[in-house]
Structures are given as structure tokens and as C-alpha cells.
Structure 1
């Protein structure tokens, strides 16, 4: 895509687009699902939906630094800003959606990344992408959350005691 057209596309979208994709009622239901998920394992899950990349990031897209690499770097940046890396067991997961590019990134902290292959992540991303293309954001994110939860339960089940702390907010970050 021409850089000028890409810049226009990204400038056109804003936070109102994320609120249309994930309105308040959907965000509230997803928040409850994250909380329920986290009661079953020691991991922390964050959902981040971003309308568009800043133009400064878009200007760095080149043949040496293609858009998927820039998008991955952006997801890694949100992984840090949302403190997903800062969990006791190093088993946090960020599910990142970039609406302008229909891009999906899963960023897993190092403890979980040791247990889950790229193929396993892709098996979650593909159905999510299909649902998002069909406009089924809630269904797609719910299914992805359930599949991520299953991985976390398999590798990091919740302890029997009830004193498990919620380390990060469960809300959907929409920007």
C-alpha cells in the first residue's frame, strides 16, 4: 500500500473506532471473562485494541522494516506500558488488535513463551482473524481468551488456596 494512503487510513481512525468495535457493554463482558479466566490459573491476560498507529511509526515502515515488524514492536510497547511483563510468575499475555491493519499480535511473557509454540499461537490467531473480518469482535475475543486460558491452565493452574492476587486490571484497553 502506498505510504500516503496508509497514512490517511491511520489518520482517519481514532479512539471512537475502538469504541465502536468494542463498545462499553462488550468491554464489560470481556472484563468479566478475563477475571473468570484468571481465577483458573496464575497468569494475567490483557486485551488491547488500538485504532491506528501513530504516523511516526508509519513513517518507519520500509523494506527493511515491514509493517508486520512495526506492528509487533507496537504490541511489545503496549506489553510494557500495560505492565504485562511485570507479573510474579512471568506468565502474562497481551492480546493486541490493530484495527487499521486488521493485525493481531499475541505477546507472551517468557515463562509462558517457553511452553507455547508459534504454531499454537497461530491456531488461536487464525479463527480470531476470521471472526474479526466478520465483525464479530466479542465472539472472536471471547474464543481467543478461552483458548489462551486453556494454555495458562495447562501450564500454570491456580493454586488450591484462594489467596491468588489479581496483579493487573482486567479491563479492555481501548486506544
Structure 2
């Protein structure tokens, strides 16, 4: 059930996109997919998952979570305080818009990859470069 949203090949493409995005910045990007629909607010569900995944434990507080609920056709993008004190709403809007453009065409993997790429490029403006040994969070998609 949890992986019906994406094929194994799409999962691999998305996880590789995270690796590539994190090569150009010091940000930490994660994707979480939930099939639970018992929340009232996707943003609050994403905030809870952000903490549960330990994304607020990075050195520079520069984690980004893309939280997807295919069942409700909702998603949220949130960042940690290290990012939020530097960026405006346009940072998040650009990532959202890149994703929505593909989602509307039913291309969910492509939408996630577009969002990851956009987030990586935007993060590079504020957190440029990345030492190869400093990956602080897993790059795999998490599920519940």
C-alpha cells in the first residue's frame, strides 16, 4: 500500500535527485509520504513529522521536508529555522510551483524531482557548497 503512489524506479529517481541537490548546497532535503488521512491540517502534520524525523537536529538547522498525502491530494513544504530566518515566502512558493506544475499532469515523481531540484538550487544561495562527508539526514523516502 505505502509504495503504490510511486514505482520502485521512481523512488530511485527521487532519491538520486536528493543526492544531486545536496551536492550543490549544505541543506538537507527529505520526502515523506503518508497514506494516513486522519489529520485536519497537512501543514501541522508535516511539522509533527519534521520533528519525528529529527530534521531539527542538523548543525545549521537547514532541513527541508516535502510532506505528501496522496489520499487527500495535499502536500506541504517546510523548513527549519536556519532557513526560515534567511528566506521569504517566494523561496517556498517557487518549490511549490515547480511541483504543482507536474502534479497537475499526473506526473508525481517528476513533480517531486522538480521540487527537490528547485529547493536545492534555492538553498545553494544561502547554504552554498557541501562537504561530501556532511550528509546529516538519510536521503531515502520515508513512509507511514
Q: Do these two structures clear the TM 0.5 threshold for a shared fold by scoring above it?
A: yes
Query: 2:42: which partner in 1?
Result: 71
Select the residue among 7, 11, 19 that pairs with 2:3.
19
Matched, 1:139 2:123: no
Matched, 1:87 2:58: yes
Deviation for aligned residue 1:133 = 3.2
TM-score of the pair, normalised by structure 2? 0.90
Aligned residues: 144
Deviation for aligned residue 1:115 = 2.0
For residues 129 and 138 of structure 2, the distance between their equivalents in structure 1, rounded to whole angstroms, comes to 18
Once the two structures are superposed, the pairs formed by residues 91-106 of structure 1 within 5 Å of their partners are 91-106=62-77
User: Where does the alignment leave 5 or more consecutive residues of structure 2 unmatched?
Assistant: none
Indicate if the aligned counterparts of 1:41 and 1:153 stay in contact, CA closer than 8 A: yes
For residues 174 and 133 of structure 1, the distance between their equivalents in structure 2, rounded to whole angstroms, comes to 23
More helix per residue: 1
Once the two structures are superposed, the pairs formed by residues 102-117 of structure 1 within 5 Å of their partners are 102-117=73-88
- Range with bigger deviation, 25-34 or 124-133: 124-133
Query: 1:174: which partner in 2?
Result: 143
Deviation for aligned residue 1:163 = 5.0
Indicate if the aligned counterparts of 2:24 and 2:121 stay in contact, CA closer than 8 A: no
What SS does the aligned partner of 2:100 have?
A: helix
What SS does the aligned partner of 1:101 have?
A: coil
TM-score of the pair, normalised by structure 1? 0.75
Runs of 4+, deviation exceeding 4 Å: none
Query: 2:20: which partner in 1?
Result: 36
For residues 147 and 163 of structure 1, the distance between their equivalents in structure 2, rounded to whole angstroms, comes to 20
Deviation for aligned residue 1:46 = 0.4
C-alpha RMSD over aligned residues: 1.7
For residues 163 and 143 of structure 1, the distance between their equivalents in structure 2, rounded to whole angstroms, comes to 23
Matched, 1:52 2:52: no
For residues 116 and 140 of structure 2, the distance between their equivalents in structure 1, rounded to whole angstroms, comes to 13
Larger radius of gyration, structure 1 or 2? Answer: 1
Matched, 1:158 2:129: yes
For residues 118 and 52 of structure 1, the distance between their equivalents in structure 2, rounded to whole angstroms, comes to 28
